[in-house]
Chain A
Amino acid sequence: MKEIKVAPIKNGTVIDHIACGMAFKVLKVLGISDGEVDSTVSVLMHVPSKKMGWKDIVKVEDKELEQIEVDKISLVAPEASINIIRNYEVVEKMDVSLPDVAIGILKCGNPNCVTNANEPVETEFTLKSKDPIRLNCKYCDRELDDIVDHII
C-alpha cells in the first residue's frame, strides 16, 4: 500500500474516518465553500482504511473545530473521528456522537412550521433513530428529510 501523499498539517483539525463519498458534505457543513474558512483545506477521497474499507479525510489548517461544528459533522459523518493538531501533535480527540437533541443547527423543512416564522426561538430536533438518522422537529413533530440540506 502506498504512502498517502499529503503532508501532515502543523496546526488545525483532521477529520478522519468519514464515510466514503461524504467529504463534500463535511465541507458544506463547515461552510468551506461559502468562504467561512480562510486557510488551506485538503480533501482526501477514497482512501484505504482497515476499519472501513474506504474512507474520506478532510484536513483544515489553522482552525480548531468548535463543539457546534462537531455536532453538525455528526449528522453527516457519525463515524468520523476528529483530531485537533498543534505543532504536528494530536492534542485533543473530539468525540463525534449524535446528540439526542440538536439545538439551533438545523432548519425545519416544514414551511408551515412556526420555527420558520421569525419567532425568537432556536430550532430543536429530537433523535428518533441513529441508523438511519431520523430527526423530528420538537415544534411541528415532522420528520426532517434531507438533513444535510437543512443544516444552518
Chain B
Amino acid sequence: MTKTFKGRDIISIHDFSREEIEHILKVSKDMIPAARGEKRNLSLEGKILSTIFFEPSTRTRLSFEAAMNRLGGSVVGFSDPEITSLKKGETLADTIRMVESYSDVIVLRHPMEGAAKLAADFTEKPVINAGDGAGQHPTQTLLDLFTIWTEKKDIEDKNVVLLGDLKYGRTVHSLAYALAMFGANLTFVAPEVLQMPKEVVEHVERQGGSYTSTNALEDAIESADVLYVTRIQKERFPDPAEYEKVAGMYRVDNEILTNASKDIIVMHPLPRVTEISPEVDTTEHAIYFKQAFNGVPVRMALLALIFDVVK
C-alpha cells in the first residue's frame, strides 16, 4: 500500500515502495505539458520553496526552481558563495529552524551524509534531499527511472548497463538499487578499482535483482536497452597517477555504439567531460538532455504530491 505523500520528507529512495515510485512516475508524466510551459498550472500559487545549497549544484537548483515556478509557486534561497553563517559555525539545525519560518518546503543540498535526515528532525516542514555528500540524491534517481520508463515503456526486464565510476558515484548506487527493485537486469561496467561496492551489490541482491560485473563495454552493450554513463571524477582519487590510468578507459562514441542495438538509449546525469563523444549528441541514442529536462516534471510531481494538490 502507498502511504500518503502529503507533507512527506523526500530523503532517500529507500523510503519508497515500488508502488509509490510508480505513482510518482505516473504523476510526473501528467506534469510534462505544464513543465514545457504548454499548459498553465498554478496549483502551488502562494507557496514558497527554499533552496538551501551548502555546495554548488546549479542544475539541480535550477531544476527545482523551474519546477516550483511552473506550478505557480515562488522560490527563495541561497547557495554556496553566499553562505556566511556556515563559516561562523552555525549548526545546520539552527539554519533549518531559521529557514523554516520563511518557506513551506525546504530543498537541501549539503556535503555531509545524513544532513537531510537531520534537517527533517528539526522542522515540521517537508524536506527534500537534493544530495547529501556521498549519500542519497533521491530526485536524481526518480528522474533517471522516469527517463527509462518513458523511453522504454517499462523498467522490468530491461537490460541496463551502468558504466564508469561505480565505486564513488552516488547516483549509480541509488539507481542500481531502484532498478533492481523494478526487476531490471543490471550489468556493471567499470575498471576493477571503480567497481560497485559490496554493500550496494548486497542491496541489489536483497531486492532479488540479477546483475553481472565486467570491464568489457563492447560485450556488455550488445544486448543493452539502456547505457547509463557516469563521469570518473579526478577529485575522488588520492593519487593522480591512479586517475590517469582509468580516466580514458571508456569513451562512448558512434563506433562503439555499432555493437549495440539500434534502440539503445544513452543516459548521463551530466555534466559530462570526455566520456561521451559529442558526435553521439545528434544520434537517436542520446537521451541525456531530455533526461535533464525530466528533472522538472518529476520534481513538479513530488511538490504537487507533498502539497496534496494531486492524488
Contacts and interface: CB of A to CB of B under 8 A. Distances in A.
Interface in B92-115: 92-93, 110-115
B134 to A, nearest CB: 7
Given A119-B92, A119-B93, A140-B113, A114 B118 contact: yes
B199 A117 contact: no
A112 B112 contact: yes
A20 B254 CA distance: 64
Interface string A100-117: 000000000010111101
Given A119-B91, A140-B114, A112 B12 contact: no
B117 interface: yes
B113 A112 contact: yes
B118 A139 contact: yes
Main secondary structure of the interface of B (DSSP, over half): mixed
Interface in B113-136: 113-115, 117-118, 121, 132-136
A86 B121 CA distance: 43
A35 to B, nearest CB: 32
B115 A114 contact: yes
Main secondary structure of the interface of A (DSSP, over half): loop
Contacts, number: 50
Interface string B220-259: 0000000000000000000000000000000000000000
Contacts of A121: 93, 118, 121
A120 B115 CA distance: 12
B133 A139 contact: no
Contacts of B134: 112
A114 B112 contact: yes
A93 interface: no
Interface residues of B, number: 20
Contacts of B91: 118-120
Interface string B81-95: 000000000011100
Nearest to A138: B117
Contacts of A112: 111-113, 133-134
A110 B112 CA distance: 10
Contact of A113 (B12, B14, B112, B121): B112
Interface of B: 12, 14, 91-93, 110-115, 117-118, 121, 132-136, 199
Q: Pick the 9 closest A-B CB pairs, nearest first.
A: A139-B114, A140-B113, A140-B114, A114-B114, A114-B112, A114-B115, A114-B118, A139-B117, A119-B91
Given A121-B93, A140-B135, 14 more contacts: A110-B113, A112-B111, A112-B112, A112-B113, A113-B112, A114-B92, A114-B110, A114-B117, A119-B92, A119-B93, A120-B93, A138-B114, A139-B114, A140-B113
